[in-house]
Amino acid sequence: MMTMLLLSLIKKEIQKKLEFLVQLLEN
C-alpha cells in the first residue's frame, strides 16, 4: 500500500518538474 502512495507522489512531482522544464524550453 505504502509503495503505491509513494509512487503516485513521485509521479506527480516528476510531472510538475517536466512541465516546468517544458515551459522554460518553450520561452
Question: What would the pLDDT profile of 1-27 be if each residue is shown by its tens digit?
Answer: 789 999 999 999 999 999 999 999 998
CA dihedral 7, 14, 16, 2 (to 10 degrees): 10
What does the pLDDT read at residue 26? Answer: 95
pLDDT at 1: 73
Compute the distance between CA of residue 24 and CA of residue 12 in angstroms, rounded to an integer: 19
Question: What is the pTM assigned to this prediction?
Answer: 0.63
Q: What is the pLDDT of residue 27?
A: 86
Number of residues that make up the chain: 27
Q: Which domain holds residue 8?
A: 1-26
Number of domains the chain contains: 1
